[in-house]
Amino acid sequence: MSQVMTNPRSTLHALEPIGGGTGQSESLLSYFCRLAASHAVSLPSLARLVADTLPGELRENFDWHERNLNGTSDITQSWAAALSSLTGVGYLDKLTLLPWKDVIAQRGLAAQCGRWCPGCLAEDQEHGRPPYFRLAWELADVKVCHAASHALGRPLF
């Protein structure tokens, strides 16, 4: 009996997102950064590879920083889908605010700049985990990190 075995392969590493389904869920931007590190490439290089899989032409001065990878826009949806396709990890849209797109008001939902909790990042390193950015930090109304390990909330920076 001759049987053909298939070995699903992906263009990029199929990294497992951190904290999936919890209040400590990783953001898509964090996932993107860890993916670049796992391939030992720069963020702009990885962004160019991903952008080349998207429909349309990139302008000459394309800058990946202009993309809000964690938001609710069509761009967020495109990048989550492209990264899912390239990694074989099918639920990367859950690392964004897209699941809440039709549930809560979008105006002012996302923070206007990157934020982080130094306590959580330090704890990640202390426990031998890769430091990562939590999706909850992307919500504009969240001013303090409410990680269970903090006795009192720590301000986000």
What pLDDT digit, counting tens, does each position of 38-77 carry?
A: 999 999 899 889 988 887 765 666 666 666 788 888 888 9
Closest CA to 97 of 119, 121, 80: 80
What pLDDT digit, counting tens, does each position of 100-151 carry?
A: 888 877 677 777 778 889 999 999 999 999 999 999 998 888 888 877 666 6
Let me know: does 133 contact 157? Beta carbons within 8 Å. no
Let me know: does 35 contact 26? Beta carbons within 8 Å. no
